Amino acid sequence: MAIPIRNTVYDKIKEVNSLTDVDLFKILIKERYALPEDKFNKILLDLEILGLITVVWITKDERRIEVVIVEKEIDKVEEQNKEMMEKDYEASFPGFEK
């Protein structure tokens, strides 16, 4: 089963974290993924809609592509609940003292 080209493009962007569309296109051609420009733009648009990358125009003919890094927000209440559950679990063993 072949890997979709969109996944390959995303992996190439993820490897370097940030690059221009011109550089990405050259990398894809070097690795024998010849894409028409409209399909290349469609893939970038799909990845941006999915929230995996951001695309920003640098110049008239060049765009900067970056991977979106999602930081997980830590919920203090959830963290306290987790700690209490761990303590309760450890305390359930007979002869356990901390």
CATH number of the domain at 23, please. Answer: 1.10.10.10
Q: Mean pLDDT lowest for which of 15-19, 50-54, 73-77?
A: 73-77
**Residue 87: which pLDDT band, with cuts at 50, 70 and 90?**
confident
Question: Is the Cβ–Cβ distance between 65 and 24 less than 8 Å?
Answer: yes
Q: Count of CB atoms within 10 A of residue 64's CB?
A: 15
User: How many domains does the structure of the chain reveal?
Assistant: 1
Q: Does residue 17 belong to any structural domain of this protein? A: yes
- The parent domain of residue 35 ranges over 5-67
| 57 within domain boundaries | yes
Residue 36 falls within a domain, yes or no?
yes
Is residue 77 in some structural domain? Answer: no
What is the Cα–Cα distance from 58 to 43, expressed in whole angstroms? 19
Judge whether 98 lies within some domain.
no
9 found inside a domain: yes
